[in-house]
Amino acid sequence: MKRNTLFIVPALFAVLLLFSGCIAPPAGQQADVELEASILPQFPHHGDVVSAEIVLNNNGEKNVSGSFVELSVDGVVVSREAVSLNAMSSKQYTLHWFPPSKGDYDVEVVFDSANLVDETNESNNKASFTVSVLESGNASLFSHVPGDAVSKVYQVDLNREGFNQIAGIYASAEPAPQNTFYAGLVDTVSEAKLGVVYYNDYSEATILYIKTSLADNEFSKALDTFAESYEANLTKSQVQANGKQLSVRSTKSGDETVCSWQEEGWRKVLIYKRPSSQTLILNWSFTNNQTCYGLLSEAYDPSPIEEKISQASALSSAVSLPVTNLLEIRAQSKEEVLYVKGYADNNSAFLTMLSNYSMFEDYCSGTIYPGEDNKTSTCLTPASLAGRIDLQSMQRKQDGYSVATFIVPFDSTDYGQSISSARDYTESIRFSNSSDTPWNTEPPQTGPKPQCRFDYDLWCPGYSFKNSTLYLNLSHTHEYPIRVDAFKCQQDDSFPYWNFQLDEPITIQPNETAELEFPCYISGNETITGNAYYLTANLFINYTTIDDGEYYVQIGDLKIVNPEGA
């Protein structure tokens, strides 16, 4: 017994020392997490997603779980991630932050801020930075594309609320997977700018600038989702162009290419569509091998396109409304100019459209509201927005100008109040030296006005559509004979990129009229059959002037009314 007591006493003493802190526990019972961090980009711009690239090294012999690594800005945690880290191992983490504006920020990256993990060294869990966020760079959309041979151009500017409205509308109206793409962008974009340029060779360029809180991989995934809408899968590659690192998506033919990159606070996307590398438009052949990265290899003067867009300034200056702005659209095509303003009050959202041409018929099919000064007159009638969404529209005409305010309701919109507001907003827009054009109160006897119009040189004094056939009288203003080599009547706006050459060309002498008979197509090779009471279509004509052999391609606008038609 005496011998056993000698062994027990030292053991008890050791236990007392252990609990009193005089003897440290074995190294395997504690962790030691060391934090390393860096901030990218080093000099961020407003609109950039700032990333904290973090490495956690567990130099101890105890596994770590149940704690977090956090990113704080000016003392507020903006991002965090749970940590699970084995002993004697390392793991990388990335936390993101979207700066709300330019300025200096105190940024801190911390592991285990709540001290949940027992470590041998608590002083190596933190890294601090001062991050200076610069102002966004130049937002000139049209410096990436040529400014000559432009037939039509659009520019759209949206803030967060406006982008959410548009993305929400498309998310509900578009089929999959486009609806997923738009839905995924809701509440992630603080500002967006969009430009669309159409060229005389029927190519088009779309430029998108956005400030988004999506990280690089999330934004790339969003573009991949949108790309699923293409019939053929897109190939992906990385290309250097003019100092830019481009992510490129391309169709197999290369006729459509999508370039995306990050620059001075903007996520930028350029989509270029060419007719095809070797295009046969009717029977007129030309070559176009351009790509989005080819365009970005050059620098362009944006002023020619910006000058076209500025023609909408005269229209925008007529709009002054005490409401929350959502978006602005400016468009120019030949002599026609369009300005659109999106805004909202506490009851509903609205889109007001102004143009220097007539956007609607003279007859009001809805309710006419005379103005209080007896000088204005507005018409409330159902109307289609972009051919997709049916909304109530308050319309007004002032000499050669048109004004239309579309009501875009909220779930809780009071329609009576929104109609009154739309009327007030529409009546407040006045153009100098212009007076209201009165509405016709009697419906037209023959329906919509027929029309057959070309931009120049061609005209059609007679036309009808009966028994699945277009009957067209065609004349011209050239001094010498012309030879019509190809022709197509088609409702689809897309240009026919395949041959519609006539079996026998038709020669039309000066001051004479040729009587033509052709089928009319919906799209592709799908023909319109029977009779039509009201038919709208495009006339694609390729002809040659016989004296000099010059090729011409023209697109005419056709509206046919057959009172006796089906």
- The pLDDT value recorded for residue 532 is 63
Q: Is the pLDDT of residue 283 over 60?
A: no
**Residues contacting 447, CB < 8 A, separation 6+:** 533, 534, 561, 563
Residue 170, H or E segment: helix 160-173
Q: What is the pLDDT of residue 369?
A: 87
d(CA 233, CA 190): 30
CA pair distance 258, 210, nearest whole angstrom: 15
Each as own residue / partner, the long-range contacts of residues 162-167 (CB below 8 Å, 24 or more positions apart, any chain) are: 162/325, 162/326, 162/327, 162/342, 163/189, 163/191, 163/192, 163/210, 163/327, 164/189, 165/326, 165/327, 165/342, 165/349, 165/408, 166/327
* Each residue's pLDDT tens digit, 435-456: 888 888 776 655 556 788 887 7
Q: Mean pLDDT, to the nearest integer, of 72-92?
A: 95
Pick the CATH number of 27-133 from 3.40.50.300, 2.60.40.10, 3.40.50.12240, 3.30.43.10: 2.60.40.10
From CA 522, how far away is CA 528, in angstroms rounded? 6
> Where does the chain hold its CATH 2.60.40.1940 domain(s)?
451-561
Highest mean pLDDT among 224-233, 297-306, 362-371, 380-389: 297-306
Per-residue pLDDT tens for 199-246?
877 789 999 999 998 888 888 888 877 766 654 567 889 999 998 999
Residue ranges matching CATH 2.60.40.10 in the chain? 27-133
- List pLDDT tens digits, range 23-69: 344 445 799 999 999 999 888 999 888 999 999 999 999 999 999 99
Question: How far apart are alpha carbons 145 and 272 in whole angstroms?
Answer: 9
Fold category of 451-561 in CATH: Immunoglobulin-like (2.60.40)
Domain with CATH 3.30.200 in the chain: 312-427
Task: Please state which CATH class domain 312-427 belongs to.
Answer: alpha beta
Judge whether residue 277 has pLDDT over 80: no
